[in-house]
Chain A
Amino acid sequence: MATPLRIAWWRRRRTRDLLFQAALIAGVLLLFGIMANNAIQTVERQHIATGFGFLDHTAGFDVVQTLVRYDETSTYGRVLLVGILNTLLVAAIGIVLATLLGFLVGIGQLSSNWLVARLARSFVEIVRNLPLLLQIFFWYFAVLRALPGPRESWGVADAVFLNNRGLYLPAPVAESGFGFVMLAFAAGAIASIFMFLRAKAVRERTGRVSPVAPGTTALLVVPALLASAAAGFPMSFSVPALSGFNFQGGIVVLPEMMALVVALATYTASYIAEIVRAGIEGVARGQTEAAQALGLNRGQMLRLVIVPQAMRQIIPPLTSQYLNLTKNSSLAVAIAYPDLVSVFAGTTLSQTGQAIEIIAITMAVYLTLSLLTSAFMNWYNARVALTER
C-alpha cells in the first residue's frame, strides 16, 4: 500500500483551523480590551462608583405595574426583579397566544374553504409586513387610548369594564376557610385526571368512546362548590366600581400591557402561521393520500398523520420565534410598559449612571431566558424526533 502523503505541518487542515481560531479569539479579546479601557476612563472622568452596590440603594420612583410588593422605598435590586417579572409575564402570555393563533391561522391557510384560506392568508400578509413598533403604536394609541374615559366605559354585567385606563376585571378575594376549598378543588382535579386516563384505557381496550367532558367538568366544579358551601362561601369578589374619576377594586390590565401583548402575539403568530403551513406542506403528499385511502377523515388525518410529522420541521423555527417575541417585548419602552428594559436599563440607568453594570445585567437576563427557552425546546424536539426510526 502507498505510504500516507506527507504534508508540511503548516499546510495541514487541522493546524490551519487552529491558527485561524486562535487569531479570531485574539482579535475579539483585543476589541473587548479597547472597549473596556474606554469605558473605565469614562467612569473615572465622571467619578461614578463602579460595582453592584447600587442594587441596594433606594430607587425612589414608582412603577405602574408590579407583580411583587414594591413601593418608592424599594431598592434598585427590587426594580430589577419587578422588570424581569413584567417581561416574563408579557412573554409568557404572548407565547401562548401567538402559538394558538399561529397554529389556527397556519392550518386555516390550507383550508379548502376559500374564505377561511383567504382570511388567514391576508392576516399573515398584513401583519407580517408592518413594522412591529408601528403595530404596538396602533394598538396603544389608535385602539386602546382612543377608547372612552372611565365615566363612559364599556361594561359587561357591571363587573367587567373597558376604558382608556385599561381593562377592569373582578378579582377573587380569599377569606378564612378558603384553603379548604382549594383542597377540594385539587382533589377534584386529580380525580378528573384519573377519569380521563381511565376513559383512554377503556377506549384502547374496548374501542368504546365515551364522552369524558361532562364527567371531568363535574369533578372539577362540584367538590369545590360543595366545599365552599360547607365553609360558608369563604370567597368574595372585589368588583371594580366607578368612584370619582376612576374605578376602584378588582384588577386592572393596563392598556400598555394589552397593546404590547396583542401586538407581540399577532405579529409573532403571523410568522408561526407561515412556519406551520410550510411544515404541513413539507409532509409528503403521499401521506395525505395514504391517510385518505385508509378512510381517515380530515381531522384524524391532521392529528394522527400530518401534524406529528410536521412538528419535527416546525419546532426549530418555532423556538426562534419564541426567542424573538421575548426579545421584542423590550419595545415596551416605547409605550412605557414597565418591562426590564424600561424600568432597569431605562429609568434605573439614567438615575444611577451605572451603564456598564446595568447593561451587563440586562444582557445576562435576556441571554439566560433565551438559553433556557432553547434548552427546553431542544429537549422537546429530541422527544418528538425520537419517536421515529
Chain B
Amino acid sequence: MSTSAVEITGLNKWFKAFHVLKDINLTVARGERVVICGPSGSGKSTLIRCINGLERHQEGRLTVEGVELSEEIGQIEAVRANVGLVFQQFNLFPHLTVLENCTLAPMWVKRLPKREAETLAMKYLERVHIPEQALKYPGQLSGGQQQRVAIARALTMEPRIMLFDEPTSALDPEMIKEVLETMVELAETGMTMLVVTHEMGFARTVANRVVFMDEGEIVEIAPPEEFFTKPKSPRTKEFLSQILR
C-alpha cells in the first residue's frame, strides 16, 4: 500500500463546456495538513468534493487511501468511509438532535448497536467540547457550536482523512476562534487534513504546505513560511496582497 493519503495525477473536470479543474497534480502524505486557498470560483470546493466522490472527474487518476475513485459505486462508498467532509453551511440534520446527528451514520452505515454508537458520539462531542448540548436540536445552537457538531459528526465515522470546505466562512468573527481551535486540536492528533480556508493564521501555524489555486489550476504549492514571505507567481502575490491587507 502506498504511503500517501491522497494521490491526484492529471485530473481534469468539466461542468458541461466549462473546464473547472485543469490538470491537477497533488499528493498528500499520511498525517499531512494541506491548506488550499485561492479566489472565489477557482475550483477549490470542486476539488475537495472530487476527493470524496460528491463530484466525478472526467480525466486523470484520483486515489484515496489506496482506493482509486472510479465510476463504480462500491468504490465510492469505500472511499467515503475513509473521508470525512465538513461544509461551510454545517449541513446538520435539523430534524435530529445533536446526538442523533452523530449516531445516524455509525448506526446505519457501520451497523453499530445504538448504545455503542452513542458512546462513540459522546466521545467525539467531548472532543469538540460540547457534550452538554447532545440532546438539543441544531437550530438551538450557535453557528460555532453547530460547526463543531458537524466536525464531531464526521469524526464518528473515524475517517483517515478530514476535508474542510471553508469551515469558518459562514461564522460570525467571535465564533471563528472556537472552530479553528477545534481544528488545531484535531491536527495535533495526526489526522490527515485538507482545508480550504482563507484563515492565514491557521495556515501558518497548522499547515505543512499551502496550495494556491486560480481559474481551475494549481498555481503554486509551498510550505507556509515560503508561501507567505516569498511567493513565486505574480498571481499569488496579488491574491496575498488582497487577503493580507
Contact = CB atoms under 8 A, between A and B. Distances in A.
A204 B112 CA distance: 8
A296 B105 contact: yes
B38 interface: no
Nearest to A209: B111
A284 B95 CA distance: 13
Interface of B: 52, 54, 77, 80-81, 83-85, 87, 89, 91-95, 104-105, 107-109, 111-117, 137-140, 153-154, 157
Interface in A272-297: 284, 286-287, 289-297
Given A292-B54, A295-B81, A389-B137, A207 B89 contact: no
Nearest to A207: B113
A295 B109 contact: yes
Given A294-B104, A295-B105, A308-B95, A289 B113 contact: no
Given A286-B87, A286-B89, A300-B108, A292 B80 contact: yes
A296 B137 CA distance: 21
Given A304-B104, A389-B137, A389-B139, A290 B112 contact: no
B85 A293 contact: yes
Nearest to A285: B91
Contacts of B140: 389
A388 B153 contact: no
Interface of A: 203-209, 284, 286-287, 289-297, 300, 304-305, 308-309, 387-389
Given A206-B113, A286-B89, A295 B80 contact: yes
Contacts, number: 79
A388 B108 CA distance: 21
Nearest to B81: A295
29 contacts: A204-B113, A204-B114, A204-B115, A207-B107, A207-B114, A284-B91, A287-B91, A287-B93, A289-B54, A290-B87, A290-B92, A291-B93, A292-B54, A292-B80, A294-B104, A294-B105, A294-B109, A295-B105, A296-B108, A300-B109, A304-B108, A305-B93, A305-B104, A309-B93, A309-B94, A309-B95, A388-B94, A388-B137, A389-B138
Contact of A295 (B77, B112, B114, B137): B77
Contacts of B117: 207
A317 B117 CA distance: 37
Contact of B139 (A286, A290, A388): A388
Contacts of B54: 289, 292-293
A388 B93 CA distance: 10
Contacts of B81: 295
A309 B93 CA distance: 9
Contacts of A305: 93, 104
Contacts of B80: 292-295
Contacts of A208: 113
